[in-house]
Structure 1
Amino acid sequence: MIRLLIADDDELTRAGLCALLSIESDLDVVAEAADGTEVLPMVTALRPDVVLMDVRMPALDGIQATRLLRAELTEPPKILVITTFQNDEYVYEALRAGANGFLLKRAKISQIAHAIRLADAGESLLFPDAIRTLVTAHLAPPVAVPRPSLTVRESEILRLMATGRSNTEIARTLVISLETVKTHVANIFNKLDAANRTQAVIIAYETGIVTPGIADIWPGNGT
């Protein structure tokens, strides 16, 4: 059973998500927060597996709440931010802060449930096109920061991660074992100080390891 916390300042949205997600046999809504200030105490007390986090809340927004969870907890829950607009600057900042992925409020409940299951399983909900759009809109190149010291193989894997490929798909593309991919991904996270795949990809764009529009050009992917 996946334990959920829903944080949204809109009571109708919060109630609707709670009611519809509770129907799913493997999802259990254990708490509802009306503002980001309530999230950390609830997470500490109830230990949900996944937090659905509205990015725009009055006292403490989803970005600040995400940073707080990452800073205060050794094992924070997976975080999926919810937004009305895909290109919202708040979304970009939330992903930079360590959110695992984002969802649009107009998404079908089946899509939201699927995203929750992916996040709980450790797979970030990564939309390559959306991430590139966000980076293009909010990143002001060039960024004068040191480029992390990745090996050639790690750089290859990071570029494939930026196209939205899973570990299994990366293993198949590079003709290496799944365990080898997992080891490389763990090393990438460590070198980039990234909490998850989405944050790693954003850091890759910010440091120039991956260039928007180029990550998709890969032998065998049909481009």
Structure 2
Amino acid sequence: MKLTKFVIVGMITVATFVGTGTGTIASAADGGTLGSKADVNFIPNDTVTNPVDPTDPGNPEVVEPVDPDHPAGTAGPLSIDYISNIHFGEQKISGNNEVYSAQLDQIKVGEAGTVKDIPNYVQITDNRGSNAGWHLTVKQDGQFINGASELTGAVLKFENPSLNSASESDSPVATGFSLDPAGTSSDVMSAEENQGMGTWVEMFGADETEAAESITLSVPGKTSKVAGKYEATLTWELTDTPA
């Protein structure tokens, strides 16, 4: 950075009046007061916020999702920055009632790209400056399907919500939920006025051990199944007012 210095040089002239008597020096009154101002103008931050390590959100190292199909974050100032895709992997067809646990999410951390297992999570940023609060919901847009085959009666459940942030603002509230394939919205996170400013993550499971059992898919044994991948779509909605 180039610094430019301005130097002001003043000249003080002292006049001595010489009369027939002793010399006299003219002087002004000392002191006084004068006011000045300092200001800063904040504007909403509309840049895209990158994903953070949900277990260490204050870590300044660059974080990159491993999943190539993760959805892109929305632009600020109030934004959904990241949502984990939920993967249950390969499972053997069974005629019994089964509960499958979701795989952990993964990120690459730092220049070395060290791969780290993390809980599945969603990340929200509020850089509006209004401190008005916000509300995040999710809905399941239909049952898991594989072509014409549907996992009738299957239930997707998210448990053990855990919040984390590098922000020092008051925390939002996080909830667990079970999704309804009919499309009913479920609460995920909610911030009242003066809560949830900055970047916040909701993990499903506070650590790897808890996270390994926190998102489940229950499938009845009587549900007919065919070989292949079953998929469902989840829609997450962030609104700019509390619930």
TM-score, structure 1 normalization? 0.24
Q: Give the number of the structure whose alpha-carbon radius of gyration is greater.
A: 2
Of structures 1 and 2, the one with the larger relative CO (CA 8 A, separation 6+) is 2
Query: Normalized per residue, which structure has more strand?
Result: 2
Query: Normalized per residue, which structure has more helix?
Result: 1
